[in-house]
Amino acid sequence: MSPKHRPFLGAFLIAVVLDQLTKAWVSRTLGYADEIPVLEGFFHLTHVRNPGAAFGILATAPEPVRIFFFIGVTLVAIGLILSFFYKLAPGDRFSALSLGLILAGAVGNLIDRLRFGEVVDFLHFRLWGGYSWPDFNLADSFIVVGVMLLVIELLATESESRDEVETARSES
């Protein structure tokens, strides 16, 4: 097992387990549409179901079309994530960790779609002026964090590459 496998598999397994445990807890503890204020007026735990994608996209599409579409898109995404992972250098643990989080988020929401035909969401933030961010879950968070880590790494390595090019130019 190369060094990149440990962070990839570790992040994946821990994130999927946390995602599914939190969704199970919410489903057992809260009735549908119930909410518990954690930070009154700002952060609440809720129990909602999202038959669509982010921000409820395609939520009103016919169920068979919606399920087929989201499962298909998720399977393609899983294939792409695994393809990117296998192309990483053996020692690229940071990218492997990032891809493990993204894969965990995709699989966590796929599990919900296969089990319930929709995704369990429970994190609700109320913003200033009465606006609310759409409810989401840990799987969604893992995807966002994984993508952000990849972007940070890309920006850092691009900056290093520029510095190396500038150093080489100044030495010539």
E strand segments, 15-117: 35-39, 43-50
Q: Within 13 Å and on the Cβ side, how many CA atoms surround 37?
A: 5
Asked whether the beta carbons of 11 and 100 are under 8 A apart, the reply is yes
Decide if 140 is catalytic.
yes
CB count within 10 Å of CB 132 equals 10
Q: Which of 92, 121, 135, 163 is catalytic?
A: 121
Decide if 34 is catalytic.
no
Secondary-structure percent of the chain, ordered helix, strand, coil, rounded to 5: 65, 15, 20
- Residue in this structure with the two tokens 């690229």, named with its chain if needed: 92
Structure tokens at 107: 């699989």
Euclidean distance between CA atoms 67 and 158, whole angstroms: 39
* Residue type for position 11: A
Catalytic residues: 121, 140
